[in-house]
Amino acid sequence: MANANVVAGQSRLKHATLALRDQWWATEPYWNDVVRRRFEERYIAPIEPAVEAAVVGIQKLAEILDRIRRDCSDRSEMP
């Protein structure tokens, strides 16, 4: 089982990214010019791929932490 705190952080990050995307889309009817498109290209568009990469890294970290926890608990049970 993956580290609960790490997975909770991963989940919050994904939900925050979805909320940002939804709020960004809500601005389109009110702000739809070249400046908005430039802002989106420069700041908004890179967020989702970066978050996806972070989520993969967080999952790997959770797996490593679980492995470390198991290894340490196995050693403490040895005579």
Give the whole-angstrom CA distance, residue 13 versus residue 21. 12
- Note the pTM of the prediction, 2 decimals: 0.74
Is residue 77 classed as helix, strand or coil in its secondary structure?
coil
Give the model confidence (pLDDT) of 14-47 as tens digits: 999 999 999 999 999 999 999 999 999 999 999 9
pLDDT at 6: 82
pLDDT at 14: 94
Give the whole-angstrom CA distance, residue 19 versus residue 7. 18
Calculate mean pLDDT across residues 48-70: 92
CB 26 within 8 A of CB 67: no
Residue matched to tokens 């702000």: 31
Locate 15 and state its tokens: 């939900």
Q: Is the pLDDT of residue 77 over 90?
A: no
Give the whole-angstrom CA distance, residue 35 versus residue 33. 5
List the domain boundaries for the chain.
Answer: 4-72
